[in-house]
Amino acid sequence: MFCGDTAEHELLSDIIFHNISKFLIDNRSMCGRIKDNLSPSKVLKDECVLSIHQHITTSLQRLPRSLNAPFVDRVFCGFRYDAFHKSMLYRLLTLLAPLDDNQLQALAEVGICFQVSLHSYDEARVGHFRLCDGYNRPNETVVTFFTPNREDVQTRGKRLQSILGQVSATPDIVTVCRSVRDGYTPRTHFRQIENLILDALKNRYSRSRGEGIQIMYDRDLLGGKDGWWHRHTCSEQV
């Protein structure tokens, strides 16, 4: 259903998925019992399908101009007829409708995103979507699974400052990787972690250079500069 080749497509697709999940929560009486074996002709007349299709259209029109056309027209896979869009939407609804409100809320928060970064060497997976729960799952990773609290993160930030203070060389460029897409960095702490790292770099190298450091953000970052967590705050206010 969703296709894309830009960061805008990724964000828009997730916004649509988020809106669908929220719509199902708010319209249980209409969509809670959607059948999974409707004929193509009945799909096009189904009240839930038509209502969500209209809801998506209206929601996209209310987005900030920076996220609106021409990206909206290209976020859906290139089916020739509108009926195919409704058919794919119906297939998604049959998967989501049986879930309870807590499950739908969790899916809305997790969202969907590209399987890999747009800059990945794995070209076969670029532009394809998945549930954005990362790859660092319990019992499915070679990395020790650990969820820190704010105090743990703060302690490691201080440790980083100490380490940088012992490094005599002054680099010209430092690359910081968020590691949010793959799930290595806990999303609820990513902003705290990133701020601690940037503060440590500023404290160490601004003094040595006698001037501030310049921070540049990749335009294709997951969720943009502000990040993936709480990414729907702005869209829900428009």
Residue type, 59: S
Residue type, 128: H
Give residue 236's pLDDT: 47
Give residue 80's pLDDT: 55
Q: Please, which residues have CB within 8 angstroms of residue 50's CB and are 6 or more apart in sequence?
A: 86
Give residue 206's pLDDT: 80
User: Measured between alpha carbons, how far is 161 from 204 in angstroms, rounded to an integer?
Assistant: 8
**Residue 148 forms beta bridges with which residues?**
none
Q: Where are the beta strands (DSSP E) in the chain?
A: 112-114, 129-131
Give residue 141's pLDDT: 66
Give residue 101's pLDDT: 93
Give residue 129's pLDDT: 87
User: Measured between alpha carbons, how far is 138 from 181 in angstroms, rounded to an integer?
Assistant: 16
**pLDDT one-digit tens code per residue, 100-116:** 999 999 999 999 998 88
Burial class (CB in 10 A: 0-12, 13-18, 19+), 74: middle
Residue type, 113: C
Give residue 180's pLDDT: 86
Residue spans per domain, the chain: 7-132+231-237, 134-221
Q: What is the pTM of this model?
A: 0.79
Query: Which residues of the chain register pLDDT less than 50?
Result: 68-70, 234-238
Give residue 21's pLDDT: 93
